A = this chain, B = another copy of it.
Amino acid sequence: MTMAKRDTYTPDSLLAVAVAVFNERGYDGTSMEHLSKAAGISKSSIYHHVRSKEELLRRAISRALDGLFDVLEEPGAVTGRAIDRLEYVTRREAEVLMDELPYVTLLLRVRGNTDTERWAMERRREFDQKVADLLERAGADGDLRADVDIRLATRLLFGMINSIVEWYRPGRGGAASRDEVAEAVVRTAFAGLRKP
């Protein structure tokens, strides 16, 4: 904390600082005073860049959601067998999560106390449903193991992907790289899903 990030702030560079603090202390556990200390400017100066604390949350969450939804439009996600599209989406979602780590982390921790948070949860549900549909089709194609429960499998798959935010830290020497993590997720998940 109390890092001097000199030069004047843009809304985006201030957002980056804010999101880091939100993730460390939790959104509700972060006061404007905390943000002011971390950004190296006064509380009231923050209000020159954003209208409210909640606006910071909204901007961060939007960025995360955009990244996740964009994957569903990529060629690998819209053509081919459902099971292959599912594997593509799984890998890409893991990658986006790591590329936009702080923003997605914040999104995943939202609880629903404000309108912004409820909107975020609603969009997340939409997203999850689209992936669940893919899994459903893979099942209809006969490409899933017989003993797989679709709803349960969807949840465990997301559980594995989303848990990455709890421990992945970019560029940490000795630990797994972005691509290794994505590969491990895909391999582990599809060992339990794909018909041998």
Where the two chains meet, the residues of A that have a C-beta atom closer than 8 Å to any C-beta of B are 24-26, 28-29, 109, 111-113, 147, 149, 151-153, 155-156, 158-160, 162-164, 166-167, 175-176, 180-181, 184-185, 187-189, 191-193
Identify A160's interface contact among B111, B159, B187, CB under 8 A: B159
| Contact A188–B156 (Cβ < 8 Å) | yes
Q: Are A26 and B111 in contact (CB under 8 A)?
A: yes
Which of A147, A156, A158, A184 counts the most B-chain CB atoms under 10 A from its CB?
Answer: A156
Q: Write the nearest CB–CB distance from A94 to chain B, whole angstroms.
A: 11
The docked-state distance in angstroms from the alpha carbon of A25 to that of B151 is: 26
Complex contacts, A29 vs chain B, CB 8 Å? 28, 111, 113
| Chain B residues, CB < 8 A from A111 | 24-26, 29
Known: A111-B24, A192-B191. A163 touches B152 (CB 8 A): no
